[in-house]
C-alpha cells in the first residue's frame, strides 16, 4: 500500500493524482447536496446552453469539446477523469521506455489526449442518459404542463422529481416541490406544474380532467 501511495504521489504524476482526488471530492459534494435537497449541478450553472454559438470564446470551446451537451457537472467529471487517466498512462509508458517525463510535459500531453476522449464521451453519454431540464425550450414552457411524480413524495421540504412532456412531446425530469397549501404528493401522482422558482417547480395535484388518458410511467 505504501509503495502504491508513493507512486501515486510522486511529483511527476501529482497533477493527475490531484485530478483524481477532485473527482472524489466533487462526487461526494453532489451526493451530500442531493441529500439536503439541493444540487451541485444547479450551483455550477446547468442553465448555461452550450449547444448554441456564443460571443464568449471559452463557452464556444467548451461547446465544441462537449459536443453531446451533457450537464456541466458531468462535463467537469469527464475532463478530470480523462486528464487523470491519460496522465497516469503517459507516465507509465514513459517510465517503461526511458523514465518519467516532467510533470509539465506530461500534463500537456494529457490535455491533448483528453480533448478527443471527452468529446467522444460526452456524445455517447448524452445519448445514453435521459435529459434533465431542457433549457433549449425554456423552463417557463413547462409551467402549466401535467406530469407524474417519479421520485417523491413531493412536499414543502427537499424537492423530488417529476416527469413531464413539453409541447413537442419530449420528456423531461425536473425538480419540484408541493405548493404551500398542498399535502404530500406521493410517487405516481399526476401533478400540475403551476409555478417555477429558479430551476424548481411548484406542483399541485392535477384535476381529473387534466390527467392524460394514456398510460403513465408508473403504470
When mean pLDDT is compared over 43-47, 51-55, 78-82, the highest value belongs to 78-82
Q: How far apart are CA 88 and CA 200, in angstroms?
A: 40
Band the pLDDT of 47: cuts 50, 70, 90: very low
- The per-residue pLDDT for range 73-127, each reduced to its tens digit, is 888 889 999 999 999 999 999 989 988 899 999 999 999 999 999 988 888 887 7
- Per-residue pLDDT at 67: 67
pLDDT score recorded for residue 42? 57
Residue 18, φ and ψ in degrees, nearest 5: -65, -40
pLDDT at 36 (0 to 100): 63
pLDDT score recorded for residue 99: 87
Position 98 scores a pLDDT of 86
Residue 1 has pLDDT above 70, yes or no: no
Q: Is residue 122 within 8 Å of residue 167, measured between CB atoms? A: no
CA distance 82 to 90: 12
Query: Most distant CA pair in the chain: distance in Å?
Result: 74
- pLDDT tens, 165-213? 887 777 888 889 999 988 899 989 999 999 988 778 999 998 876 665 5
**Pairwise pLDDT comparison (66 vs 119), residue with the higher score:** 119
pLDDT at position 211: 61
Q: Are 56 and 95 in contact (CB under 8 A)?
A: no
Which residue has 435529459 as its cell numbers?
131
pLDDT tens readout for residues 139-160: 778 888 999 999 888 998 888 9
Q: What is the mean pLDDT of residues 59-81?
A: 77
Round to whole Å and give the CA distance between 49 and 170: 18
Average pLDDT value for residue range 37-59: 54
Q: What are phi and psi for residue 92, nearest 5 degrees?
A: -65, -45
Amino acid at each position: 500500500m505504501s509503495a502504491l501511495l508513493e507512486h501515486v504521489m510522486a511529483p511527476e504524476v501529482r497533477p493527475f493524482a490531484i485530478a483524481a482526488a477532485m473527482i472524489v471530492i466533487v462526487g461526494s459534494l453532489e451526493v451530500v447536496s442531493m441529500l439536503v435537497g439541493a444540487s451541485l449541478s444547479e450551483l455550477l450553472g446547468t442553465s448555461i446552453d452550450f449547444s448554441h454559438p456564443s460571443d464568449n470564446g471559452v463557452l464556444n470551446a467548451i461547446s465544441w469539446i462537449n459536443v453531446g451537451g451533457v450537464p456541466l457537472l458531468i462535463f467537469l467529471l469527464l475532463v478530470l477523469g480523462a486528464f487523470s487517466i491519460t496522465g497516469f498512462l503517459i507516465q507509465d509508458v514513459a517510465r517503461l521506455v526511458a523514465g518519467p517525463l516532467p510533470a509539465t510535459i506530461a500534463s500537456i500531453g494529457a490535455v491533448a489526449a483528453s480533448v478527443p476522449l471527452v468529446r467522444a464521451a460526452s456524445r455517447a453519454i448524452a445519448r445514453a442518459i435521459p435529459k434533465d431540464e431542457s433549457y433549449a425550450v425554456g423552463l417557463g414552457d413547462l409551467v402549466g404542463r401535467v406530469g407524474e411524480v417519479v421520485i417523491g413524495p413531493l412536499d414543502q421540504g427537499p424537492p423530488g422529481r417529476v416527469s413531464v412532456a413539453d409541447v413537442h412531446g419530449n420528456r423531461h425530469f425536473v425538480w419540484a416541490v408541493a405548493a404551500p397549501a398542498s399535502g404530500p404528493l406521493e410517487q405516481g401522482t399526476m401533478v400540475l406544474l403551476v409555478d417555477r422558482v429558479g430551476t424548481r417547480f411548484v406542483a399541485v395535484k392535477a384535476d381529473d380532467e387534466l390527467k392524460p388518458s394514456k398510460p403513465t410511467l408508473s403504470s
